[in-house]
């Protein structure tokens, strides 16, 4: 048999669908008898007889739904809860899959500690795949435990939350749609004085904790808010009063025409103090009492002339900003810094509150009062208030939450 015969055989195979094995064997046998190398048998695979039909069962199988196609939702998890993992909800299209049947969840570490953790979700049944899902345990919310307000400040205290990097305090006037301001403090701070609040407003305060995870702050929920009104401050004919005390400092000036000489009640209190001091061989006298706006103008300008404005502002008030214009402030004996070390200055510091005076610019409080330590400058407030403020160890500004800063 030659090449032509082989073509004959191929045609014959096309016609016959039975006895494939026999035919293949025949082809091989034929090929073996030709001069040229036989055509490779794979030619046969093109024949319809070689096609294997897939079973009906295999055709109807739905390919497994992969976890990538599913939506995974993790419930937010706060630290220190009873739980060690967030709740997981997985849905495919609109169907919610069943935990245990469609998937299982396992945690790498059973932990409710604040920070980053990982869950492994493994699909089962008609679903396939496995996925690691990171989740973050955020810290617990602190609770505001105290909130005391003054004229422009508020002191907040809150409970500690374990395992955090710090706290944030939010404060905003309750009646305003202004963006809230936020103060951030470290983890060891559990109280904070907020400053620069707007006068005569009611503020809303709240606190939250945070932990830095992978460079980002993870926050607790905010605490329940606390609303509190600030201490009232009022202006009468250009003069400022808080708690019925006339306030004059770098923030609050007096009008140029305010001026009534020394206050009789303050003078009377001073003379009683002077007499009592004399009985203890301490001599004290007023060297500067009431100063009018125009006199203060000259005084301040001479300081500016001598020392420049920056240094002048540390020791002398600009016109309208001097407490001496109130008639309630007196300089005693000497305005030299060395006065602080005299028995007279020490007696004054120890006793003046009993007569209704305070040392108005104490040592180390320049950033608060705006003035260097003036051991000689006393201010009359009345006995009750002077004793309260002296006992508090605070300056007048601190006690009422007042600023003392020139506007420019
Ligand atoms: Zn003075």
- The pLDDT, as a whole number, for residue 113 is 82
Domains of the chain by residue range:
3-59, 65-138, 144-229, 235-400
Q: Can you tell me the mean pLDDT for 85-103? A: 91
User: Could you tell me the fold of the domain covering 144-229?
Assistant: Immunoglobulin-like (2.60.40)
pLDDT of residue 55 exceeding 90: no
CA of 197 to the centre of ligand 1 (A): 29
- Report yes or no: 352 and 329 within 8 Å, Cβ to Cβ: no
From 54-63, 112-121, 203-212, the region with the lowest mean pLDDT: 54-63
From 4-18, 83-97, 365-379, the region with the lowest mean pLDDT: 4-18
User: Could you tell me the fold of the domain covering 235-400?
Assistant: Muramoyl-pentapeptide Carboxypeptidase; domain 2 (3.30.1380)
Instruction: Note whether 65-138 and 144-229 share their fold.
Output: yes
More confident residue, 66 or 36: 66
CA of 232 to the centre of ligand 1 (A): 27
CA of 329 to the centre of ligand 1 (A): 6
More confident residue, 20 or 153: 153
- The pLDDT, as a whole number, for residue 80 is 63
- The pLDDT, as a whole number, for residue 142 is 96
pLDDT of residue 103 exceeding 90: yes
User: pLDDT tens across 201-217, in order?
Assistant: 999 999 999 999 989 99
Q: What is the DSSP letter of 188?
A: T
Cα 367 to Cα 383: distance, rounded to the nearest angstrom: 26
pLDDT of residue 45 exceeding 70: no
Cα 218 to Cα 154: distance, rounded to the nearest angstrom: 26
Residue 288 CA to its chain's centroid (Å): 48
Give the three-class secondary structure for 155. strand
CA of 33 to the centre of ligand 1 (A): 132
CA of 272 to the centre of ligand 1 (A): 20
- The pLDDT, as a whole number, for residue 61 is 59
Cα 245 to Cα 29: distance, rounded to the nearest angstrom: 125
- The pLDDT, as a whole number, for residue 268 is 98
Query: Per DSSP, what are the bridge partners of residue 182?
Result: 170
Chain mean pLDDT for the chain: 85
CA of 243 to the centre of ligand 1 (A): 22
Q: Which residues surround ligand 1, an ion (CB under 5 A)?
A: 331, 377
Residue 298 CA to its chain's centroid (Å): 47
CATH number of 65-138: 2.60.40
Closest Cα to residue 393, out of 355, 363, 366?
Answer: 363
User: pLDDT tens across 220-278, in order?
Assistant: 999 999 999 999 999 999 999 999 999 999 999 999 999 999 999 999 999 999 999 99
User: pLDDT tens across 165-192, in order?
Assistant: 999 999 999 987 778 999 999 999 999 9
pLDDT of residue 335 exceeding 60: yes
CA of 288 to the centre of ligand 1 (A): 7
Q: Can you tell me the mean pLDDT for 317-342? A: 97
């Amino acid at each position: 048999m030659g090449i032509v015969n082989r073509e004959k055989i191929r045609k014959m195979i096309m016609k016959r669908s039975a006895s494939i094995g026999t035919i293949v064997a025949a082809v091989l046998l034929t090929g073996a008898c030709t001069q040229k190398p036989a055509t490779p048998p794979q030619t046969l695979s093109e024949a319809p007889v070689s096609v294997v039909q897939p079973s009906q069962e295999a055709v109807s199988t739905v390919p497994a739904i992969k976890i990538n196609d599913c939506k995974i939702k993790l419930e937010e998890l706060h630290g220190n809860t009873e739980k060690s993992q967030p709740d997981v909800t997985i849905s495919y299209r609109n169907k919610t899959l069943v935990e245990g049947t469609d998937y299982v969840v396992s945690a790498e570490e059973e932990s409710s500690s604040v920070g980053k953790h990982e869950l492994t979700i493994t699909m089962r049944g008609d679903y396939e795949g496995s996925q690691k899902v990171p989740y973050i345990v955020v810290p617990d919310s602190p609770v505001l435990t105290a909130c005391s307000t003054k004229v422009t400040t508020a002191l907040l205290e809150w409970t500690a939350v374990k395992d955090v990097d710090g706290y944030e305090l939010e404060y905003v006037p309750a009646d305003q749609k202004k963006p809230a301001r936020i103060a951030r403090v470290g983890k060891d701070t559990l109280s904070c004085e907020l400053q620069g609040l707007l006068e005569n407003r009611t503020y809303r305060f709240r606190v939250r904790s945070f932990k830095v995870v992978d460079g980002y702050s993870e926050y607790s929920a905010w605490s329940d808010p606390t609303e509190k009104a600030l201490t009232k401050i009022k202006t009468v004919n250009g003069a400022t009063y808080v708690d019925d005390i006339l306030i004059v400092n770098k923030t609050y000036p007096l009008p140029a025409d305010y001026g009534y000489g020394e206050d009789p009640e303050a003078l009377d209190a001073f003379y009683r103090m002077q007499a009592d001091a004399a009985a203890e061989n301490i001599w004290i006298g007023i060297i500067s009492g009431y100063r009018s706006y125009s006199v203060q103008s000259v005084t301040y300008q001479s300081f500016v002339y001598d020392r420049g404005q920056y240094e002048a502002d540390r020791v002398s008030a600009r016109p309208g900003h001097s407490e001496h214009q109130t008639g309630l402030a007196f300089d005693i004996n000497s305005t030299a810094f060395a006065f602080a070390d005299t028995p007279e200055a020490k007696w004054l510091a120890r006793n003046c509150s009993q007569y209704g005076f305070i040392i108005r610019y104490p040592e180390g409080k320049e950033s608060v009062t705006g003035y260097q330590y003036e051991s000689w400058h006393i201010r009359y407030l009345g006995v009750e208030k002077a004793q309260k403020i002296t006992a508090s160890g605070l300056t007048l500004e601190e006690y009422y939450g007042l600023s003392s800063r020139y506007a420019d």
